[in-house]
């Protein structure tokens, strides 16, 4: 029987880590955990509950009791809070511009990290993947949440490439106007989050993959090659 595998992928905004991680999980037949969606869900829930995001204690209290349900099926990574499907709502620009206020809350990070570790453990013993494992992606998976993961990758890209990709995702085009409209969201989010976790430079043992000059399929292939090389015993 093949042992379970935990693959941790971190990276800055627009690096492609979500779409790449999801496809890698699909091809490997394992679970997929989008930890960024957890912070977005927490932001959505706090706003719905009327919590001032600058009130760190109130935010922590609300997030601690958040009725969050996340699918780890890479074909249907649904996010629900209080049984409301918010998978689309959390991608709204209104959430994107506010999520850092929640994501930089240290106590909130500890709450969500615990949930993330529990899910990773569950997928190594059963769960959706039936014990095959999981691909978990975010900002601090390789360093804090799962530093003992079987494979740890920092997926990065040039600022130009990241802005272009995010503009395409959000606006459906990567022309100059769309890129400019996306710049604040991407760069400010990275700057804010870098105050609480390091995801710009690979930690010891973490493999850096620069996808600036790679298309989607080439990036998938590169990640799969890293996984194969890392998990294959030396002859």
In a domain, 233, yes or no: no
Tally of structural domains, the chain: 1
157 part of a folded domain: yes
- For residue 4, what pLDDT is reported? 95
Angle of helix 106-125 relative to helix 35-48, nearest 10 degrees, comes to: 130
**Does residue 112 contact residue 96 with C-beta atoms inside 8 Å?**
no
For the record, the structure tokens of 47 come out as 């706003």
pLDDT at 198: 66
Which residue in the block uniquely carries the two structure tokens 């850096």?
A: 208
| Host domain of residue 77 | 5-228
Task: Give domain status of residue 59, yes or no.
Answer: yes
Alpha-carbon distance 112 to 100, whole Å? 14
158 found inside a domain: yes
Domain presence at residue 64: yes
The answer to the question of residue 235 being in a domain is no
Q: Determine the pLDDT at residue 26.
A: 98
Q: What angle do CA 174, 92, 173 make, to 5 degrees?
A: 10
Residue 1 confidence (pLDDT)? 62
- What is the mean pLDDT, run by run of 10 residues, along the chain of 235 residues? 91 88 98 97 98 97 97 97 96 90 95 97 96 96 96 92 77 72 71 69 89 93 96 66
| Within a domain: 123 | yes
pLDDT of 7: 98
- Report pLDDT for 201: 79
CATH of the domain at 153: 3.40.50.300
């Amino acid at each position: 029987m093949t042992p379970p595998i935990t693959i941790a992928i971190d990276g800055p905004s627009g690096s492609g880590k979500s779409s790449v991680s999801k496809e890698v999980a699909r091809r490997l037949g394992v679970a997929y955990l989008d930890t960024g969606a957890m912070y977005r869900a927490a932001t959505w829930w706090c706003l719905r509950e009327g919590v001032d995001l600058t009130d760190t204690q109130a935010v922590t209290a609300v997030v601690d009791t958040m009725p969050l349900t996340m699918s780890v099926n890479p074909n249907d990574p649904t996010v629900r809070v209080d049984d409301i499907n918010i998978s689309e709502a959390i991608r709204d620009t209104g959430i994107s511009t506010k999520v850092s206020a929640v994501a930089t809350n240290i106590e909130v990070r500890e709450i969500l990290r615990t949930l993330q570790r529990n899910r990773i453990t569950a997928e190594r013993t059963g769960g959706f993947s039936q014990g095959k494992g999981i691909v978990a992606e975010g900002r601090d998976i390789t360093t804090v949440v799962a530093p003992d993961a079987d494979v740890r990758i920092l997926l990065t890209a040039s600022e130009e490439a990241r802005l272009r990709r995010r503009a395409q995702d959000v606006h459906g085009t990567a022309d100059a106007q769309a890129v400019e409209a996306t710049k604040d969201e991407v760069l400010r989010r990275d700057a804010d989050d870098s105050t609480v976790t390091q995801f710009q430079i690979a930690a010891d043992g973490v493999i850096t993959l620069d996808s600036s000059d790679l298309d989607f399929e080439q990036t998938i292939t590169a990640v799969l090659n890293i996984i194969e090389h890392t998990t294959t015993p030396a002859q």
